[in-house]
Structure 1
């Protein structure tokens, strides 16, 4: 794999040239980027794969929803529909994407919308909302955000900074300087001051770019309807782990802390589960002779299990859902981050 990536390096150079030219066209005004008369917060990352964008979006929703009428807007990756759609309680992952479906399930009173062209989506929402949160839109230059939050997975900070397809970057690392806030996600809870300093030396933030460190916060297990189960698997429980996410290592590490026997059914990010996939899971589960056994999946994956065609199998299985959030490594950082968000929204509203 390492040598294959080097063979792809010329394609990465070509891809990087195209991305640099595109960014220059936007920066110079040759390509138009739209601004809107309301606060717009963008959450994104430079690498492909999960850096914790959805938990950050949920954090912002919880922080702001009591004071503002807000909406989340994303592309709706993996959906089988096109154009602008507003989610309802009956919307499925096939219709709006797994992450928007997850948002709507958790925040039924918040507007959740999807649109490939984010500027068109904002235009639809602007008249009756106070704030728009754009999930995974840092590279969507057709919109000029008021505040950009850029996430970096702590475990991948030291990786090579090669562009696709030889590497994992969507755009050159210098693109980080468009952001207002850096969040280093998925840190160990006991991250040392020396490790923080090493991360800062890699990121080299500008004077105005604030940097925060967060860890994954694994929350109590739920059933498929969202009700707490009040249990955790123990060392004697066989766990069948079903995932279709970008980076499974933190989740596997967490599950292995509780169970000595984990059987992982692992699929690609945003994989649309089929009857064959769930049938294999059901057969493996039913064939297992362990006295205690359970199936665990993520919130995002659970949305794709709600598809009607899968229900005859899914409803017969004891599937638990493991929600995640984020936690700042210290209270001072959390308070400063919250203050930054509130100040941006307040100053924007006052100014306009």
Structure 2
């Protein structure tokens, strides 16, 4: 089968996250039809996560191409760029304060960004409640998407923007995410200025990081007077169950954490003990490095589906840059196949280089000497 012209092709994006929606928005702006399929039953089915930062040299480039940069700046929090390095007593050892006009990587809540992108695509673009099971059809197309509700559709191009556990990835790669040896426990705090003023003072308007060489805490201010704290340890993936704990055993998990952080000051341990609600266990996974695949004329990947990395400040930014470059390649190529070649020629080397640099980066989060910066990825966890 000859590869179709993008303007006449059926294009299907799997996943309505920032990457998938950015790609859809830029394609539609350039007159190319696209449909996005997402497994969630609706846009409000689950919490979208905490805060993220969009960098001027990748995420903001994508928003500019999407015609949404001004809307982003209207929602973003430049003050969220502040970073505090603390020691286990709570003493500030390093302090990065952004200039009044600094806009290199302002913060925005992930839900706000998702809504901005959702509102920008044409009505009916996203088909909710469509969980992909498998991809069939010949390698040169057309492909057939089989969904868990028993329906299927035919398409000329499948774009996997469906994250770490992508159902599109197996069509081009056997790679699966692997546990890195590190675990994050997320603790949430609401109405912090009134209910948790000591924690609000410690964290400030941006982020705060503290480590002792074996463990760390990373706290982020979110909009709406919220803070999220990530309790980071090098532990087995099943450390809770192996200690006889369940996800619902908040008191038991808290006791184990207090034991691990026993030598930290009481004011720092507030970020472990005073959270509102239960902890959320987030083992850190990554795809093998390097990760690449043989070119396929009808399937490609972007974001975490293509290059899941440790959460060190690049995830959403790279996903949106991938989406932008893929959409522009489709808008400017004679065929879908040509567009995929153009896109992957840039994306794959970039992602391999970045993943190689970050492969062991989580270890630096535990260092008492390094200032952590993983704002956008902590929100994806």
- Shared fold per TM-score greater than 0.5: no
TM-score by length of 2: 0.29
TM-score by length of 1: 0.31
